[in-house]
């Protein structure tokens, strides 16, 4: 079971590395939360994104993602729900009169709603049908006949993509946090970051709404 050649793994890990390094909506969300709330907020956002990705991996392994590829109605529903959710987050942040976290000088750093950030990250990923279609299109390329059950192979390679992200995203979060520490000392700049994150959400929502298959 899972008997692959060295060429197989070399090709897969090279492709997965490039995909994880490419900037996208998920990473924009993580960086935005890091600038706004510090490294803890960034890591919570990252875990939320990973949880959403896990859902897509399971869907791909079970074949449920195929529904989004074959059903225009299902695809449109998920797309518009996801776009509406992002736009709602964005406009809520733009209307804020103060930052949603409390800048302070304690060792714990700024406080922030952990559950909210995690939920936002997870839903931002889950409600993006492009992510589901990506896993459905990318993972089958690495299925090898006789190497094991297809669903198990899809699940394995999907999990490995997330594992590769674990080596890339944390260092970038730490670097973003160092810059954010300086900006968060000012309430005015903190509010500016809050609204900047809101603008990012709106941009992502519009991009998703206008995107086609």
pLDDT single digits (tens) 68-81: 667 777 777 777 88
Residue 10 belongs to a domain:
no
3-state secondary structure of 111: strand
Residue 9 belongs to a domain:
no
Residue 15 belongs to a domain:
no
Residue 5 belongs to a domain:
no
Residue 11 belongs to a domain:
no
Q: What is the pLDDT of residues 29-87, one digit of tens each?
A: 898 888 878 889 999 999 999 999 999 999 888 877 676 667 777 777 777 887 888 78
Give residue for tokens 């949880």. Answer: 51
Q: What is the pLDDT of residues 155-198, one digit of tens each?
A: 999 999 999 999 999 999 998 888 777 666 666 666 676 677 77
Residue 2 belongs to a domain:
no
| Structural domain count of the chain | 1
Q: Are 175 and 18 in contact (CB under 8 A)?
A: no
Range of the domain at 150: 27-210
Tokens coding 87: 């736009």
Residue 149 belongs to a domain:
yes
Residue 18 belongs to a domain:
no
Kindly write down the DSSP assignment for every residue of 158-174, as one continuous string: HHHHHHHHHHHHHHHHH
Give the separation between CA 74 and CA 65, rounded to whole angstroms: 10
Give the separation between CA 156 and CA 140, rounded to whole angstroms: 11
């Amino acid at each position: 079971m899972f008997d692959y050649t060295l060429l197989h793994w070399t090709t897969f890990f090279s492709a997965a590395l490039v995909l994880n390094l490419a900037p996208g909506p998920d990473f924009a969300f993580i960086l935005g939360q890091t600038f706004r709330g510090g490294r803890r907020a960034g890591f919570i956002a990252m875990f939320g994104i990973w949880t959403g990705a896990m859902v897509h991996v399971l869907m791909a392994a079970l074949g449920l993602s195929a529904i989004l590829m074959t059903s225009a109605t299902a695809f449109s529903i998920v797309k518009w729900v996801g776009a509406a959710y992002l736009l709602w987050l964005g406009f809520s942040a733009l209307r804020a009169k103060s930052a949603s976290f409390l800048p302070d000088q304690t060792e714990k750093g700024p406080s922030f709603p952990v559950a909210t950030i995690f939920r936002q990250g997870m839903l931002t990923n889950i409600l993006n049908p492009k992510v589901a279609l990506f896993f459905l299109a990318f993972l089958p390329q690495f299925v090898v006949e006789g190497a094991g059950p297809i669903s198990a192979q899809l699940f394995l390679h999907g999990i490995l993509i997330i594992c590769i992200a674990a080596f890339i995203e944390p260092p970038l979060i730490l670097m973003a946090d160092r810059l954010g520490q300086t900006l968060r000392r000012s309430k005015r700049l903190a509010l500016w970051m809050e609204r900047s994150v809101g603008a990012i959400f709106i941009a992502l929502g519009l991009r998703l709404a206008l995107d086609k298959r």
